[in-house]
Structure 1
C-alpha cells in the first residue's frame, strides 16, 4: 500500500476526525510523518481518537486550543470545517498552509487523474465515467466526495489505473498543488454561501480544480453555462466543450434526437435511460471523458443503455397506487430541484424543505409548470410557503417533518402523479446527511 515519499512537511495537524481526517491520519502514520490530532468530540466518546492515541499519536479532543499549532508546518482539515474556525484563522495568521486530504491523495497518484466538479451533477457524472471506463476494461478507481476518501483509495492504485475523483468546493478551496490530467467542469451557480460567505469565494474554490492545468492537460466544460464560459479561457489547458444546443464541430453535442461526438452520431436520446436534460449534460460530459481515453462507441452505448443513476439523485423508488415515487434527496439547492422538475411531464407533488441557509425561494417557482401541490417541512417551510404565496401558487401544505410530508404528498396525489422528494435545501436541520434523508423517504414510501 502506498505511503507518502519525500514529504516536505515535518509536523502536521489533522483537524477533525471524520472520514477524511481518519484516512489522512492513517496515511501520515503509515508514512512515518510526525503529526497530532485535534477533534471536537470528547475523548471518551471518540473511538478514532482513542485508536490513534493507542498508537502513540498525540490527540487533543473536546476543544480547539490554538496551542495545537505550535511547531506545526501544515494543517490538514476536514473539508466541512469553515474558514472562520479559530484554528484556521490562527494558521492563516501564522502563514501555515491549510489543505484538505485530497492534497495528500494527489501526492500518491501515478496514473491519470480525472477530477469532476460543479454545483450539480457531480456524483452522477463521476459514477457514469467510472462505469464507462470499467466497461472498456480501463480498471478505474473511484474516489473523493462520492463516499470513498481519496487519500485512502488511491493508496491501492497500481500503474496506469485512472482515478475518477468527485470534488466539492469545500475540498477544492484548500488545495495547493492539486492538478488533474483531465478535469470536468459541469456548471457553477450560487451555492454553499453559508460556508463560503461570498459567491466569488465559491467560484474561485471550484476553479482551483483547473487553475494549475497546462497544455499537457484537458478540460471538459459545459459550453451552455455562462459562468463556466467566463473562466475557461484564462489558462493554457486544452479544452473539449459539450452542449445541448446544437451540433459542435469538435466536442460532444445534442440536436434534440441524437448525441454526437465530433459531428458523428453516437447514440439516440431514447436509448439513454437516465431521465432529464440535466442528466443529459452529465452524459455528454462523460462521453467526452470516455473519448479522451479512446473508449469505443459500443462500450459507451452499452453503459448508457443500462445506467439508471445513483441513489438519492432522481432515484426511482416505487410505483404505488398508480403514483411514481422519486428520491432526489441530493438536490440540496434550488437549481438542482428546478432541474429535477424539468425531468417530468406528468403532474408532480413536490416535497421540499430543510435547513434554512438564509436564501429566498422565488426562483424555485419559476419551474412549477407541472407541480400541482407542494408539501414543505423543516426550517425553511415558512419561507417556501411565503414564496409560493408571492408567486400565486396556492396548493401548499406545511408539515413538521419528512415522514408527515411523504404521507401528505400521497394523500393529495392522484393516479398518474409523480411524488418527488427534491428538497432544494440541505438536510442538516433534521438529518445528518442527505443520504439519511433519502433513506427515510424510501422507508416511509415502502410502508405507505
Structure 2
C-alpha cells in the first residue's frame, strides 16, 4: 500500500493515535492530527512538534475543521471516539482503526483475542506460553505497545498476538487473523452502545474477513455467541464455559494444576482457551513438558485479581481492571477458596446504563461479602439502591475505605473490584490500581 501524498487525518491521540502518527510519519503522507483542546495544551505536543514538524494540528472545534475531514483520503480513528461522531458524518474517506492500518503492512500470523472479561489475562498468558516454547511473539493492541509501533520497528516474529476491544474492532475492514478468540460477552460500555446486540456485533467483527483456513475458538456456553460461532466457515472450537467440571477434567487430562497460581474457575477457563489456541497452531502436541513449566510459572497480570503483599492484618487483592458487574462477580467468587471474611471496595464513574447489578449478583454478594465500601461517583447511587439488602457504606475514595479497615482491626480479605470505569477519579484503571497498591507497604 502506497500512502505517499495521501491526505490522512488521525482523529484522537493516546497510544493508538501516537502509534499511527509515528508509523505514518515514515510514509510521506500529508498528515493532520485532530484532538480535543488547543494543540499547545496536548500532553504529546512537544513530542509531535519535535519529531513531526510538518504535521497539521487542529483542535476538534477549530473553525473549518469539517473541511479537513471532507478532504481526507483516510481517517485513522482513536478507539475512544465513536464512529457516529459529527465530524465523521457524511465523509467519503474510509475510517480505520490503528489496528487496521498496521494489519495492512503485517506479515506474521495473527492471533486476535476479544471478549468482555479476561482478555488481558488470556493474552498475557498466551504470550508467556509462546515464550515458554521459544517462540518470538509481539503482544499488543489494547495493551502495551501500539500495533503500528511493532510494524514500524521491522522486528521479525513468529506470531502477532493482539488483545482487541469492541471499539477497535468497529473500524476494521480487511483485518484477518489466523486465529480468532471470543472469550465471552456480558453487558458493558453502556456509554457507547444502546443495547447488548450492538456491542456483540462489534465483537463479531473479529471474523468478518476470516475464511475456511482460519480457526475460531469461542464460548459455546453463551447462546448468542454459540449461534454466531456455529455459522463460522472455518475450523470451530467451542468451549462450554458453563460446564466447569468438563473444563477442569479436560485440563487435568493433560496438565497438573497443583502449582497453578491464578485463583478461581474463570482462570481455568482462560487457560483452556490458551491451550486451544496453541492446539489450533499445532503447538500443543509434543510440547507438554515445556507448557507445564509455563503454566506453573505464570503469576497473572497487574490489576486483575492481583495479590498485593503487605504488612496489614488483612489479605489484599487488586482487581482494579474490573469495570463491569460480571468481572466483579467473578472476582468475588474466586475469593471463596480463601475461606475468610471478604470486604469489597466498589464504585467509580456511572455509565448511565447497567449501573445496578444483575439479578444473580444478590446471591453472590449475600453468600460471600461481609460488607461493601463504596467509592467515586457511583457511591451515593449504589448506597441508595443496594443498602436494603447489602451492608454498604459510601467512603468516597480508596484511602478512606482502607483507613476504616485499619481502624477496626480487620483480619479478613480486602478486594478492590470496582465494577465501574475509573474516569471519575483516575485517568485509567491502571492508575486506580497503582493508587490502591501504593497504600500498602511490605
Normalized against structure 2, the TM-score is what? 0.91
How big is the shift at 1:171? 0.7
Contact 2:325 2:357 in 1 (8 A): no
Task: Work out which of the residue numbers 15, 21, 27 in structure 2 matches 1:25.
Answer: 21
Q: 1:341 aligns to what?
A: 332
How big is the shift at 1:257? 5.1
Q: 1:370 aligns to what?
A: 368
Aligned mates of 1:30, 1:72 — CA distance in 2 = 18
Matched, 1:277 2:265: yes
How big is the shift at 1:344? 1.4
Aligned mates of 1:142, 1:427 — CA distance in 2 = 24
Matched, 1:126 2:123: yes
Q: How many residues align?
A: 428
Q: 2:345 aligns to what?
A: 351
Matched, 1:153 2:124: no
1:378-389 aligned within 5 A? 378-389=376-387
1:221-260 aligned within 5 A? 221-244=218-241, 255=246, 258-260=249-251
Contact 2:138 2:157 in 1 (8 A): no
Deviations 1:310-339 (CA, angstroms, capped at 9, x unpaired): 000000002544411000000000000000
Aligned mates of 2:217, 2:247 — CA distance in 1 = 21
Aligned mates of 1:366, 1:119 — CA distance in 2 = 22
Q: 2:200 aligns to what?
A: 203
Q: 2:58 aligns to what?
A: 60
Aligned mates of 1:202, 1:146 — CA distance in 2 = 20
Aligned mates of 2:156, 2:247 — CA distance in 1 = 40
Aligned mates of 1:413, 1:149 — CA distance in 2 = 45
Deviations 1:340-383 (CA, angstroms, capped at 9, x unpaired): 01101232100000001123323243311110010001111122
Aligned mates of 2:246, 2:369 — CA distance in 1 = 27
Deviations 1:161-193 (CA, angstroms, capped at 9, x unpaired): 200100011111111111111111100111002
How big is the shift at 1:21? 0.9
Aligned mates of 2:234, 2:378 — CA distance in 1 = 42
Contact 1:141 1:157 in 2 (8 A): no
How big is the shift at 1:74? 1.4
How big is the shift at 1:157? 5.0
How big is the shift at 1:213? 1.1
Aligned mates of 1:256, 1:83 — CA distance in 2 = 39
How big is the shift at 1:60? 1.4
Q: 1:250 aligns to what?
A: none
Q: 1:397 aligns to what?
A: 393
How big is the shift at 1:81? 1.3
1:106-185 aligned within 5 A? 106-156=103-153, 158-159=155-156, 161-185=158-182
Q: Secondary structure at the match of 1:376?
A: strand
Q: 1:292 aligns to what?
A: 280
Q: 1:164 to 1:414 in 2, by over 3 A?
A: same
1:309-348 aligned within 5 A? 309-345=300-336, 346=339, 347-348=341-342
Q: Secondary structure at the match of 1:180?
A: coil
Q: 1:265 aligns to what?
A: 253
Contact 1:141 1:154 in 2 (8 A): no
Gaps of 5+ in 2: none
How big is the shift at 1:216? 0.7
Higher relative contact order (CA 8 A, sep 6+): 2
Gaps of 5+ in 1: 247-252
Aligned mates of 2:219, 2:407 — CA distance in 1 = 40
Contact 1:102 1:150 in 2 (8 A): yes
